[in-house]
Amino acid sequence: MQTPLLAELIDALRVLPGVGQKTAQRMAFHLLQHDRQDGLVLAETLQRALRGIRHCTRCRNFAEETLCPICASSKRDASQICVVETPADVDAIESAGVYQGQYFVLMGHLSPIDGIGPDELGLDALAKRLAEGDVSELILALNPSVEGEATAWYIQNMAREHGVKVSRLAQGVPFGAELEYLDQQTLAQAFQARQQA
Amino acid sequence: MQTPLLAELIDALRVLPGVGQKTAQRMAFHLLQHDRQDGLVLAETLQRALRGIRHCTRCRNFAEETLCPICASSKRDASQICVVETPADVDAIESAGVYQGQYFVLMGHLSPIDGIGPDELGLDALAKRLAEGDVSELILALNPSVEGEATAWYIQNMAREHGVKVSRLAQGVPFGAELEYLDQQTLAQAFQARQQA
Ligand SMILES: [Zn+2]
Ligand SMILES: [Zn+2]
């Protein structure tokens, strides 16, 4: 017979992706039994993170200030913008260590069925940045999926309208793979051999 | 490039059992991207639960008051105590709906390697309860593992010292199982414990 509060905790844990009833119960028991202090740290960190993390006004990546560390850095080449789907993709490319330009994080890809169009991906902001004339190359590093391809095609046309050169990661990224899980070597090679689109 | 706060959140999520770096990252992105409000509810519920849930002073199960709802109920037969390893076992037996007695929740089993002896399982409190003389039957419902068996053996001796009758859940063929796929151990026990039809 679960106490009401325990039932509430199990229910609340199910907000986490991939966590069903049984897993949530196991998590709740574990925290109550072995890790109350760490559980309280998790609760407090969740509150600070969910309230404090916003999106960079320039590239849409997660940020704690108006600009993310990459957009705020004077060491990054503002004439190159690498367009990715998620913050995890930025991390993957950064750890490959071959790119010194800036990013634009779509936070998804075009998906009309889910109501995700150009506006939801912030493409108006990207268009504005291209119109400013400081960008000389747009590197498309989208996932090699049907939606990723459609999104790439859309952005490619947009860049051409602004006369900006577009390149894409070299073939070698296997079809169906997710960038976030690629090894550094593969990612580095794909970057260096990127081709004009 | 993760923001410090995002890195902190991913790290904090790893306190959850079975959650590694990649899963924690996926959870953090999901909450930040789609479920900030539910994430804040989780944080607040975690705090209330980890601070408010204690252990029933009588049976050691999770409780919000001094006594858990079962120990506090006048409808439960205090002459029977069913000994289980975890609160989840109590839930399972309660949902079977065949038991009207009380429980004693060990919150584990004897495991000398992990430093878990009789004291850690609260067996002194159980002995005290047996000594009071109100208990006529102790039902052992421990897991059929090596540790569960050792724990059952220990408690069985304790109960005999207090002249309390001990019974154990019948071991045998689970309902709906196919004999052909049963392990030898289960089948052997079912055979040895065969009952006259
Ligand atoms: Zn930025
Ligand atoms: Zn109780």
On whether any CB of chain A is under 8 Å from the CB of B115, the answer is no
Lowest mean pLDDT among A45-59, A105-119, A159-173: A159-173
Same domain, B100 and B183: yes
Q: Where are the beta strands (DSSP E) in chain B?
A: 54-55, 62-63, 77-84, 101-105, 137-140, 165-168
Cα–Cα distance for residue pair A92/B61, rounded to 1 Å:
45
Per-residue pLDDT, B173: 73
For residue A56, report the distance from its CA to the centre of ligand 1, in Å: 5
State mean pLDDT over A62-73: 94
Within a domain: residue B57?
Answer: no
Exposed e or buried b per residue across A122-149, where buried means at least 16 C-beta atoms within 10 angstroms of its C-beta: bbeebeebbeeeebebbbbbbbbeebbb
Q: Is the pLDDT of residue B182 over 80?
A: no
Task: Using CA atoms of A66, A125, A115, A49 in order, give the dihedral in degrees to the nearest 10.
Answer: -10
Same domain, B36 and B131: no
Per-residue pLDDT, A1: 57
Contact list in A for residue B69 (CB cut-off 8 A) is 1, 3
Same domain, B47 and B66: no
What is the share, in percent, of chain A residues with pLDDT greater than 90? 70
* Residues ≥6 apart with Cβ < 8 Å to A92: A179, A180, A182, A187
Average pLDDT, chain A: 90
Tell me the pLDDT tens digit for each residue of B123-148: 999 999 999 989 999 998 888 888 98
Same domain, A115 and A183: yes
Tell me the pLDDT tens digit for each residue of B86-100: 888 888 888 888 889
**Which chain A residue's Cα is nearest to B93?**
A1
Closest CA to B53 of A20, A39, A47: A39
Q: What does DSSP say about strands B137-140 and B77-84: parallel, antiparallel, or unpaired?
A: parallel
Which amino acid, one-letter code, is at A69?
P
Q: Which residue has the tokens 């975890």?
A: B86
The verdict on a CB contact (< 8 Å) between B12 and A51 is no
Q: Looking at residue B85, which CATH number applies to its domain?
A: 3.40.1360.10
Residue B171 belongs to what domain range? 62-196
Same domain, B37 and B83: no
B122-B127-B132 Cα angle (round to 5): 130
pTM passes above 0.90 = no
Backbone angles phi, psi at A51, to 5 degrees: -90, -30
Q: How confident is the model at residue A171 (pLDDT cuts 50, 70, 90)?
A: low
State mean pLDDT over B68-74: 94
Same domain, A12 and A35: yes
Within a domain: residue A57?
Answer: no
Per-residue pLDDT, A96: 84
Same domain, B71 and B46: no
Q: What is the full DSSP assignment across B81-99?
A: EEEESSHHHHHHHHHHT--
What is the share, in percent, of chain B residues with pLDDT greater than 90? 66
Contact list in B for residue A15 (CB cut-off 8 A) is 31, 35, 38-39, 41-42
Within a domain: residue A186?
Answer: yes
Contact list in A for residue B29 (CB cut-off 8 A) is 86-88
State mean pLDDT over A50-67: 95
Q: How many domains does chain A have?
A: 2
Same domain, A40 and A66: no
Domain end position, chosen among B32, B52, B72: B52
For residue B104, report the distance from its CA to the centre of ligand 1, in Å: 56
Cα–Cα distance for residue pair A8/A135, rounded to 1 Å:
51
Contact list in A for residue B18 (CB cut-off 8 A) is 23, 26
The verdict on a CB contact (< 8 Å) between B91 and A31 is no
On whether any CB of chain A is under 8 Å from the CB of B20, the answer is no
Lowest mean pLDDT among A9-13, A92-96, A175-179, B81-85: A175-179
On whether any CB of chain A is under 8 Å from the CB of B2, the answer is yes
Closest-CA distance of chain B to residue A40, Å = 6
State mean pLDDT over B150-168: 93
Per-residue pLDDT, A57: 94
Same domain, B67 and B45: no
Within a domain: residue B43?
Answer: yes
Cα–Cα distance for residue pair B158/B160, rounded to 1 Å:
5
Same domain, B85 and B132: yes
Per-residue pLDDT, B95: 83
Same domain, A66 and A156: yes
Same domain, A44 and A85: no
Q: Looking at residue B26, which CATH number applies to its domain?
A: 1.10.8.420
Within a domain: residue B14?
Answer: yes
